[in-house]
Amino acid sequence: MSESSHGGPERRARELRRALRHHSYLYYVRNQPEISDGRFDELFRELKALEASHPELVTPDSPTQRVGAEPLDAFETIEHTAPMLSLDSSADVQPLERFDERMRKALGDDIGYVVEPKLDGASIELVYESGRLSRAVTRGDGVRGEGVTGNIRTIHSVPLRLRAADRAVPPLLALRAEVIMRVGDFEALNARLLESDRPPFANPRNAAAGSLRQLDPRITAARPLDIYVYDILAIDGRPPPTQRATLEALREWGLPVNERCRPAADVGEILAFQAEIEEGRDDLEYEIDGIVIKLDDIAARDEVGETSHHPRWAFAFKFPPRKEVTRLLHIFPSVGRTGVVTPIAFMRPVELGGVTVSRANLHNREEVARKDIREGDRVRVQRAGDVIPQVLERIEEPGRERAEPWVMPGECPSCGTLLEPRGPYTFCPNLFACPAQLAGRIQHLGSRHALDIEGLGEETANLLVRQGVIGRVPELFELEAAKLMELEGFAERSATNLVTAISEARTTELARFIYGLGIPEIGVTVARELASHFLSFEAFREAAAPREEAPAGEEAPAGEALQEVDGIGPRMAEQITAFLARPEVSAVVDELRSWIEPVPPPRAGDTLAGLRIVLTGGLESMSRSEAAKKLEALGAKVTSSVSKQTSYVVAGENPGRKLERAETLGVETLDEAGLFELLSGGPDALSPPEDVPAPGAAGDAPETDAPETDAP
């Protein structure tokens, strides 16, 4: 049929795009195709030819534009619209029951859940602006990830433009989804790789994650990826009131939602769903490793809040680990970055859930003795949580002569230093001169969450130490390309690139530098908290210095100033202080500071410094996550629970129980107008409520209540 018979090429292009989106929705979301694959291909080819003849008709969200981006040199790091937290999880019933008890204690017995299969793929954030896909970001560390928009656009089940036929599309919509590769597609992909003499993928999850991180979108487009969307991270407007309503909204917007999600009233129904899913697990066309339980009521989720690691309103109930039997060949003491010497089991290779396993962590010398595991034993191996290989137990072999019990050596296998037992663990005290620890510390300093030095991985760090090129951590910054070119595996370009990357890392974020030092107890989140609190490395170091004098009869508290930082308690503060006080540590830190300039986190001002603010209910002008960012940029601390230490509760539409708790405790509440006054002029801009003295006015009694806790 000619273009003219359809009213011209522009109109025909619109018709074809609309038809292709509609049939993609029926195919991927509703699973109710109305036309054959052949007919769909005909429509697609017609649109492609039409756009080739009239390039001015091409739109960014046209179905023909899924693959069009040029290969990248590197992925851009992008901050998530809202944190992508991990889930609290267990394979035991008791933690699940405790989760249910906590929910009922906080919210009462009138609650409901939604249960979903726990997909085993690659987590991703999808952001739609004005209904069009604007960016896609890998989970990364939960706060920021890698921008893979060009790759996500190649997945045909991802709509480039949301449907608005059944539900209005919000101006901004950030979604959490899982990119997967179905089992049949995975097997076909591996067969093709083997035919072309290329190594196959170990399992569908690795295949999905590896395909998603290709710098060339054309490679990703050739991989059979699929996606399921399951949560709203942020929305400009009022969110659906429940998880069930959320899933239906996602479907109406044209997004693929897993068909096996359903409501559950209590633990009994949750366990029934888990048993049903586990029984049919091997018949599913995609990999799962458990189920996820979520509070159905979105407002109730707001009530129970979240920790820095996981939401309190969701729980992952994992399947029991897969198990196999193999022969343990050798036990080797391995020295880690922190000096812990861990017994590692080397085994005859065995496949566990699609992954070939040949080594496992035996944890510590007491664990080896308790299980009575010896070299040559036949053992049962499992992947805890379907991820980490571990030796579960020894299998009796009557009549077979066994080796002598394994004993931890008295000296470090890497440097010969006498080892020190500390409880069930064994340590090498030679922190910075032990080659194994030195290589580990160099690798950690250059890792993605630290200085992010491209090219400085485990293999390179071990090579630099083994060849004597680096004898102390600060010598990393003295490396020259000519010296690197003498080492195996380095050419002029790779040597120059590494030296350049090291040089560029000399200016870095304060949080990255603190994390990169490898201080005990300090992970990525704690490093960020410390950086935000102290704003300079010198201030942090001074706070971590032990007190030289204490009041008579009292013991000087370790790192007292550190405990003012959220998430740091007495034990953690003591560990940080003790580590930084060691002379050899202090010397290395001094040298590193002479090379590295840590940059404090950006701050728009401190007009709200010292205020603790809770947000509840929906805001008209912005999302709660946007409001939180604005408040934190001005120095406020945004928390998830209300206590007498809370300065203000900002209440939008449908605020829920946090408003009731604020009224009970006498905490001042603000509406959206009050929030704008606070953001624009600080606390002084607010009009004091009637009959209530302004903060700091005569008659105010000092607060003596206990500090705020994380309890819901």
For the chain, what are the domain ranges? 4-65, 79-316, 323-396+415-424, 435-505, 510-599, 605-712
- Interval 580-636: pLDDT, tens: 999 999 999 999 999 999 998 766 566 787 788 988 888 877 877 778 878 877 878
Mean pLDDT throughout 288-301?
93
Give the pLDDT score at 384: 58
Buried b (16+ CB within 10 A) or exposed e, 347-362: beebebbbbebebbbb
3-state secondary structure of 565: coil
CATH fold of the domain at 79-316: D-amino Acid Aminotransferase; Chain A, domain 1 (3.30.470)
Give the pLDDT score at 307: 79
Check if the beta carbon of residue 119 is closer than 8 Å to that of residue 126.
no
State yes or no: pLDDT of 387 exceeds 80: no
Angle of CA points 44, 48, 50, to nearest 5°: 115
- Options 3.30.750.200, 1.20.58.220, 1.10.10.10, 1.10.287.610; which CATH number does 4-65 get? 1.10.287.610
Q: How far apart are CA 550 and CA 146, in angstroms?
A: 48
Give the pLDDT score at 645: 80
Confidence category of residue 353, pLDDT binned at 50, 70, 90: low
Give the pLDDT score at 545: 86
- Interval 544-576: pLDDT, tens: 887 655 444 444 455 678 888 877 888 889 999
Pairing outcome for strands 89-90 and 314-318: parallel
Q: Which range, 70-79, 116-125, 273-282, is most confident?
A: 116-125
**Given 48, 105, 118, 371, the catalytic residue:** 118
State yes or no: pLDDT of 711 exceeds 50: no
Confidence category of residue 356, pLDDT binned at 50, 70, 90: confident
Give the pLDDT score at 702: 28
Domains 435-505 and 510-599 share a fold: yes
- As a CATH number, domain 323-396+415-424 is 2.40.50.140
Confidence category of residue 453, pLDDT binned at 50, 70, 90: very high
Q: For residue 62, which of 113, 132, 110 has the smallest C-alpha distance? A: 132
State yes or no: pLDDT of 169 exceeds 80: yes
- Tell me, letter by letter, the H, E, C secondary structure of 49-72: HHHHHCHHHCCCCCHHHCCCCCCC
**Side-chain half-sphere CA neighbours of 265 within 13 A:** 2
Q: Which range, 55-69, 308-322, 474-488, is most confident?
A: 474-488
Q: How far apart are CA 297 and CA 300, in angstroms?
A: 5
DSSP for 77-111 reads EEE-SS------EESSHHHHHHHHHHHHHHH-S--
Tokens standing for 698?
């005569």
Tokens standing for 627?
């409001």
Give the pLDDT score at 442: 95
- Interval 122-161: pLDDT, tens: 999 999 999 999 999 999 888 888 999 999 999 999 999 9
Tokens standing for 161?
């433009």
Q: What is the mean pLDDT of the chain?
A: 84
Give the pLDDT score at 341: 94
Q: How far apart are CA 102 and CA 151, in angstroms?
A: 41
Give the pLDDT score at 69: 57
Give the pLDDT score at 127: 96
Architecture of domain 605-712: 3-Layer(aba) Sandwich (3.40)
Q: Does domain 435-505 bear CATH number 1.10.150.20?
A: yes
Give the pLDDT score at 525: 78
Tokens standing for 91?
């394979």
Please report how the helices 183-195 and 204-212 are oriented relative to each other, as an axis angle in degrees rounded to 10.
Answer: 70
Tell me which H or E stretch contains 227: strand 226-235
Mean pLDDT throughout 34-48?
76
- Options 3.40.50.720, 1.10.150.20, 1.10.472.50, 3.90.25.10; which CATH number does 510-599 get? 1.10.150.20
Confidence category of residue 688, pLDDT binned at 50, 70, 90: very low
- Interval 211-270: pLDDT, tens: 898 888 888 888 999 999 999 999 998 999 999 999 999 999 999 999 999 999 999 999
Mean pLDDT throughout 418-444?
93
**Side-chain half-sphere CA neighbours of 707 within 13 A:** 7
Tokens standing for 679?
């953001």
> Which pTM value belongs to this model?
0.51
Q: Report CA 396 to chain centroid distance, whole Å.
A: 41
Give the pLDDT score at 350: 82
From the number of C-beta atoms within 10 Å of its C-beta (0-12, 13-18, 19+), residue 418 rates as exposed
- Interval 52-79: pLDDT, tens: 888 888 887 787 776 655 666 678 889 9
Give the pLDDT score at 547: 65
Q: For residue 532, which of 308, 355, 232 has the smallest C-alpha distance? A: 308
Q: What is the DSSP letter of 245?
A: H
Asked about 118 being catalytic, the answer comes back as: yes
